[in-house]
Structure 1
Amino acid sequence: MSESTDIVTGGAGFIGRALVGQLATLGHRVVVLDNLSLRASREAPVLPPGAELVPGDVRDRSFVQSVLERERPSTLFHLAAIHYIPACDEDPAGCVSVNTAGGASVLEACTRVEAPPTCVVASTAAVYAPAEAAHREDDLLRPIDIYGLSKLWLEQLAELYARRNGLRVRVARLFNVYGPGETNPHLIPSLVDQALAGGVIQTGNLSTQRDYVHVGDVANALVALATPSQGDGIVCVNVGSGRAVSGLDVVDTIAHSMGRKLEIATDVSRLRPVDRPRLLSDPRRAADLLGWRARVSFEDGIGDLVRESLAAGVRI
């Protein structure tokens, strides 16, 4: 990618910070749009040189459009979302407002500027119907929760804008992203935090299998999606490792990285009322179109995460 200005919505979040860092490393100027809702203090995050924070809400179309007109980015990466499923289940209207209406605001703003940017949209594997087999991009889409549904609606909006307005849209269906800097208490950060604190680890259902992909690999995939060689219209790819890992395997991997056995107990309050048994990607389209594949093994990623957490003496 040539030197350019990029906009990253949700750039102060977990995946956003990794993406901003990657873009800055490539020499890009980066403008971060974020309402800082997931930062406890609402303080501005520390951004790398070449990155600037513009606080605001993506649901405000006039605000997004004004930033687009001023910055004239070549690419807009739309990551802003509520993606912690219990939070989405607790406030379905808020989930749809941010994830779907917010996405519509961003897409509409992009069509109203003189030089519309390429839009790279972060979606989720939760749009797929439950299945044992690895998911391909043309599989049946049938979410089982409000989060997946809000992202499916976002994908449908993106397809509409690509078809009706000629917007260049790239959709990344992200599987289970992990790594340093997580902003929500998902399984891996929760287990690592509890393991560092000592005592019995409280867990939910550990029999389910997920496709874990490191946040650094995800940032690389999003950058690859923005390359001009992908042409016009809409392109959709899975971003996953192609490997299913059970919750019990996660516990064992953390224990191995810490060099000690971990004692676990089931906490019924952590059990989800609806949970798919297995979620696995077929990542071949990303490999064929982008030359991308997940390079950080699960064992290496967990090992690095545990070592960084131990060295810092703080929770991840």
Structure 2
Amino acid sequence: MKRVLVTGGAGFIGSALLPELVASNYDVYVIDNLSFGKRELLNISDDHFFLSDILDRKNLNSIIKNIQPHWVIHLAAIHFIPYCNQNPFEASNINIQGTMNILDALRSLDCLEKVLFASTAAVYPNTNHPIAETVSSSPLDIYGLSKLAGEHLLNEFYLMTKIPSIICRFFNAFGARETNPHLIPEIHRQIMNGKRSIQLGNLDPKRDFIHTADMSQALRLLLEQFSTDIDTFNIGSGQEYSVQEVVEAFELAINEKIQIEVDPARIRKVERQHLCADISKLKEYIGWKPRVDLKSGIKFLIDNPNIALA
């Protein structure tokens, strides 16, 4: 049985990914400092969960040496772009130094077979067209810069170790138990609090939303099928949605009208107008396509706010 280590596994994406891995009969371990994640979201035994910070090199080395993982999925990071911009040292320290610590701890393992690094679509430049992996990187913010640095660190790791390495550029994930106030969880919070006139920030941007169930399946299939070299894959739905379309999906789910008020305090000064994934490479490589569209995903979220869609 393959031992799979997930850093940040108690967070939003990790807690959706773990059931996918466990259901496929993998022996799953988690490292998380629970700054955002929650231990109760994980259906794994205590001897498979390690409360640790990825900045704690000594403890991290000891844990990884003890687990002896075959595959490693590195999700642990600070993700929320406004927070990263307000706390650039903290964000870059965790996202860059933390990644260095993980990779350094993996170098001495004889059992290691594959590494998957969670990067982001924020490494891409502004564009009005679906973005393929071949587009040159040009981050607009500290989060994108820190993740691009992580990609370079993984590339160096691959060159030195020849361990097959996968870079996954995540687009906008949505689903149950999100820990940051992105668009969908923020609308969901206000709706569940009884509001039908909701306050939002930027209304013009369009985004590629992928459900965590689809993302989890794609990550598992990539790990299972990827076997050599280093490569990069977009993880998105290939569909772009406006803020109004997201609100309309909530209206359909609750069968009520929702009014939008623009809150100046929520407006981001630097914002992309479009962000959509070209997922043709991913679909061809793993024989996969998204199953959960925006409307059905939001309907499930409204009806089951604490349950990850399988």
TM-score tier by shorter-chain length is over 0.9
Does residue 1:157 correspond to 2:153, yes or no?
yes
CA distance in 2, matches of 1:286, 1:46: 28
Tell me if structure 1 keeps the 8 A contact 2:164–2:226: no
Q: Which amino acid aligns with 1:247?
A: V
Q: Which moved more, 1:59-68 or 1:122-131?
A: 59-68
Structure 1 residue ranges (4+ consecutive) displaced by more than 6 angstroms after TM superposition: none
Q: Which moved more, 1:152-161 or 1:63-72?
A: 63-72
Aligned counterpart for 1:176 among listed residues 172, 175, 180? 172
CA distance in 1, matches of 2:270, 2:199: 19
Distance 1:62 1:167, change over 3 A: farther
Task: Provide Cα deviations, 1:79-116, integer angstroms capped at 9, x if missing partner.
Answer: 00100111101100110111111111111111122223
Q: Secondary structure at the match of 1:45?
A: helix
Deviation at 1:14, TM superposition (A): 0.3
Deviation at 1:72, TM superposition (A): 1.6
Deviation at 1:50, TM superposition (A): 5.8
Aligned counterpart for 1:22 among listed residues 2, 14, 20? 20
CA distance in 2, matches of 1:230, 1:25: 20
Instruction: Name the counterpart of 2:3.
Output: 5
CA distance in 1, matches of 2:40, 2:238: 32
Q: Secondary structure at the match of 1:77?
A: strand
Q: Secondary structure at the match of 1:198?
A: coil
Does residue 1:260 correspond to 2:238, yes or no?
no
Q: Output the TM-score relative to the length of structure 1.
A: 0.92
Aligned counterpart for 1:226 among listed residues 218, 223, 226? 223
Aligned residues between the structures? 304
Tell me if structure 1 keeps the 8 A contact 2:15–2:41: no
Tell me if structure 1 keeps the 8 A contact 2:125–2:140: yes
Task: Provide Cα deviations, 1:148-199, integer angstroms capped at 9, x if missing partner.
Answer: 0100000011111111221221111100000001011111011011122233
CA distance in 2, matches of 1:161, 1:293: 30
Aligned counterpart for 2:268 among listed residues 269, 272, 284? 272
Instruction: Name the counterpart of 1:238.
Output: 234
Gaps of 5+ in 2: none
Instruction: Name the counterpart of 2:69.
Output: 73
CA distance in 2, matches of 1:231, 1:14: 27
Q: Secondary structure at the match of 1:276?
A: coil
Q: Output the TM-score relative to the length of structure 2.
A: 0.94
CA distance in 2, matches of 1:35, 1:63: 12
Give matches, 1:113-262, under 5 Å. 113-199=109-195, 200-227=197-224, 229-262=225-258
Aligned counterpart for 2:296 among listed residues 296, 300, 308? 300
Q: Which amino acid aligns with 2:27?
A: R
Deviation at 1:205, TM superposition (A): 1.1
Give matches, 1:51-90, under 5 Å. 52-90=48-86
CA distance in 1, matches of 2:300, 2:114: 34
Q: Secondary structure at the match of 2:39?
A: coil
CA distance in 1, matches of 2:260, 2:241: 18
Deviation at 1:292, TM superposition (A): 2.1
Q: Secondary structure at the match of 1:104?
A: helix
Q: Which amino acid aligns with 1:62?
A: K
CA distance in 2, matches of 1:218, 1:24: 15
CA distance in 2, matches of 1:49, 1:278: 39
Q: Secondary structure at the match of 2:234?
A: strand
Tell me if structure 2 keeps the 8 A contact 1:88–1:147: yes
Aligned counterpart for 1:109 among listed residues 105, 117, 121? 105
Q: Secondary structure at the match of 1:218?
A: helix
Tell me if structure 2 keeps the 8 A contact 1:127–1:149: yes
Q: Secondary structure at the match of 2:290?
A: coil
Q: Secondary structure at the match of 2:137?
A: coil
Aligned-pair identity in percent equals: 35
